[in-house]
A = this chain, B = another copy of it.
Amino acid sequence: MANKSEVTIHDIAKKLNLAASTVSRALQDNPVISSGTRSLVKRIALEMGYRPNVQAANLRTRRTNTIGVVVPLINRYFFSSVISGIEEIAYGNGFTVTISQSNDNFEKECKITQTLFDNRVDGVIVSIGMQTTTFEHLKLFSERNIPIVFFDRVVDEIEAHKIVVDDYGGGYRVTEHLINQGAKTIAHIGGPLNLKIYVNRQKGYCDALKKAGLEVNNSLIINTMLSTEEGTEAIIKLLNNETRPDAIFCANDTSALSVIVYLKKKGIRVPEDIAVIGFSNEPFSEVVSPSISTIKQPGFLMGQKAAQLIIQQILHKKEEPHFRTIVMPTEIIIRESSQKKA
């Protein structure tokens, strides 16, 4: 209607013969303003369709009440769960959340963080991309005293709160489980080793093998980007390997699925001939056939925790925090794809 595209506190002030400062304080329910004018101002503001310009307020207060979130992909169940957790806590505390995805692309990650900084977010929650090996773009935040919280794909080189899952334990228990199922030759399709999470999953795998007196055979370990395509390539390689595996631990569910699809196509039975286990508990893992055994990560909780930590730091910037690394427990979910024994 009114194409008066902006109603400002000055407009309200003029209408009521008050000063803009009074209007501002009234709208904030500042008790220094008499309750009479306070409610009057609020009523008129509503009538006039006033909406605060947060950009202006932000500029003055040097706060944006915005948390930036950087994730590799939003359509991974794990990440969207984390985002939901973040959003819940953030909204509850009056913060807004800006989400961006890097698509595991380093340049996009740099651009995104740059943009978040230029928009003066109060803090960032980050899970880095697979290509990311340098961290200058993130140091920008620590240098400017803007809190960062890392989750899942954390970076060792920067001091900050970090929230990870027990990847080592997950890898260990998964492998142990396969051994218990009678597997003797267990392969591993791992992720890129610049990411700690994949290093840890792999270490868990190796240690479980050693513990059981099985040797670690490097020809049975293939590191990939864990996509559908690379999962297929990996299983082809493994099938042609000198010693053929009777079980495979895949570092995520996507690659596990592609392995299973390929094996089925080739008439190789899962889990009888080759058992397969994944990591992350994507929703499809439960419904495919055979259903995929996997490790469940508490994404929603991690998001909540991350949001709490970042908000706490934003609100108490003065105090130098001592940074913690929180390790969240994982849960092994045993389904059809890994049960050789009935």
Residue numbers of A with Cβ under 8 A of B are 1-3, 5, 49, 51-56, 58-59, 64, 74-75, 77, 80-81, 83-84, 87, 91, 96-101, 103, 108, 111, 114-115, 117-120, 140, 143-145, 257, 261, 283-284, 287-289
Cβ 8 A contact of A287, one of B120, B144, B257: B257
The minimal Cβ–Cβ distance linking A184 to chain B, given in whole angstroms, is 29
Sampled A-B contacts (8; CB under 8 Å): A5-B144, A51-B117, A53-B59, A54-B120, A55-B58, A75-B81, A261-B287, A284-B284
B115/A96 in contact, CB under 8 A: yes
Q: A59-B55, A74-B80, A143-B1 are in contact. Are A101 and B119 (CB under 8 A)?
A: no
A124 to B20, CA, bound (A): 30
Cβ 8 A contact of A288, one of B51, B58, B98, B288: B288
Task: Determine the chain B residues whose CB is within 8 A of the CB of A74 once the complex forms.
Answer: 74-75, 80, 83, 99
A226 to B84, CA, bound (A): 20
20 additional contacts (CB under 8 A) given A99-B99, A289-B289 = A2-B143, A5-B144, A51-B117, A51-B118, A53-B59, A54-B120, A55-B55, A55-B64, A74-B83, A75-B75, A75-B80, A91-B111, A96-B115, A98-B98, A98-B99, A283-B284, A284-B284, A284-B287, A287-B288, A288-B289
A144 to B101, CA, bound (A): 30
**5 tightest CB-CB pairs across the interface, nearest first?**
A75-B80, A289-B289, A284-B284, A287-B288, A99-B99
Task: Determine the chain B residues whose CB is within 8 A of the CB of A83 once the complex forms.
Answer: 74
Task: Determine the chain B residues whose CB is within 8 A of the CB of A283 once the complex forms.
Answer: 284
A197 to B140, CA, bound (A): 45
Who on chain B is nearest to A78 by CB? B75
Task: Determine the chain B residues whose CB is within 8 A of the CB of A1 once the complex forms.
Answer: 143
The minimal Cβ–Cβ distance linking A281 to chain B, given in whole angstroms, is 13
Who on chain B is nearest to A292 by CB? B287
Task: Determine the chain B residues whose CB is within 8 A of the CB of A58 once the complex forms.
Answer: 55
Cβ 8 A contact of A59, one of B2, B3, B59, B288: B59
